[in-house]
Amino acid sequence: MNSNIKINNYFDDLLASKESRLGLGVFIGMIVFHIGALMAFQTGVSKVAILIFTLSYLSKGLGITMGFHRYFAHRSFKTSRFFQFFLGVLGTGAVQGGVLWWASHHRGHHKHSDQEDDIHSPITHSFFHSHLGWMWTKECFSRAKYRLNDFSVFPEIKFLNKYYVVVLALQAGFFYGLGELLNNYAPSLNTNGNQLLVWGFFVATVWTWHITFSINSVCHIFGKPKYKSNDHSKNNWPMAFLALGEGWHNNHHKYGWSARNGFLWYELDPTYYVLKLLEALGIVWDLKTPTQKQLESDLL
């Protein structure tokens, strides 16, 4: 009953303010994307479509985990201004809002994790609210309490944050154009613009959404804590696999500043492995990680 009341409340105040109207826009946009993903039944699938979906998912996933999360929200490593912008573009392609908006909300999440001011906590709100509903509320678009003054000084980052829909339009056009090129010049591949638009843009985006959102919802309810983190964050190995290392969520909440989430050999953390490769190439540096003494002394 309580969850029905919560769901109804999302629609009671839709046009009452600018923030509410933005929430309504996100709700409609997410419905459109889910319908777009279901169009896969109409376009069919091909080997090329599966490849494009996989590459798109990895690009979007790393854009969120490595870019929006570990870099912009937590500053767990350093890089050049050029690669910083590239990370911003990569994360923007995941269709989860502007970089400054995303990272600001995440800093607030860590400041008030599983408390009343944590607007996407399944503990103080509900599982549905934490997974999806919070993005349809006016609170989601209220003035940020934790502004990213460290990154808002860069005009290119401010542009990405304000006009991120431009990146989305270019991405959609790229997938459609690629499919049409392959249809014209390599018809034996059995693909076309509509198919790659659906699999590369809509299916990959919706898949990445629910993987990312599950870190908020699933990983605060299901799994096991390893460290005392003053919240309900838990390590969840299936989510760690799907979310490129983000499922070691209790590890992360204990050491939010760390570029590494999986601390043991069996704690798979693909995002960190990519960061180590980039470090070897000189593209990123000063990766922050806890010492072995810290890891051993802070166990539950």
Rounded to whole angstroms, the Cα distance separating 170 from 179 reads 14
pLDDT of residue 12: 55
What is the tens place of the pLDDT at every residue in 37-63? Answer: 999 999 999 999 999 999 999 999 999
pLDDT of residue 19: 73
Q: Which of 33-47, 69-83, 285-299 has the lowest mean pLDDT?
A: 285-299
The answer on pLDDT for 193 being more than 80 is: yes
Rounded to whole angstroms, the Cα distance separating 156 from 85 reads 7
The answer on pLDDT for 99 being more than 80 is: yes
pLDDT of residue 243: 98
- The long-range contacts involving 263-267, CB below 8 angstroms and separated by at least 24 positions, are 263/290, 263/295, 267/235, 267/237, 267/240
The answer on pLDDT for 229 being more than 50 is: yes
Model pTM score: 0.92
Q: pLDDT tier at 132 (50, 70, 90 boundaries)?
A: very high
pLDDT of residue 141: 81
The answer on pLDDT for 1 being more than 60 is: no
One-letter amino acid at 13 equals D
One-letter amino acid at 262 equals G
pLDDT of residue 277: 98
Give backbone dihedrals phi and psi of 162, rounded to 5 degrees, phi first. Answer: -80, -40
Rounded to whole angstroms, the Cα distance separating 110 from 100 reads 16
The answer on pLDDT for 87 being more than 80 is: yes
The answer on pLDDT for 73 being more than 70 is: yes
Region for 258 from its dihedrals, namely left if φ exceeds 0, alpha if ψ lies in -120 to 50, beta otherwise: beta
pLDDT of residue 21: 79
The average confidence (pLDDT) of the chain is 92
What is the tens place of the pLDDT at every residue in 234-287? Answer: 999 999 999 999 999 999 999 999 999 999 999 999 999 999 999 999 999 999
pLDDT of residue 147: 77
Tokens at 42, concatenated: 């109409």
* For residues 148-168, average pLDDT: 94
Percentage above 90 pLDDT, the chain: 81
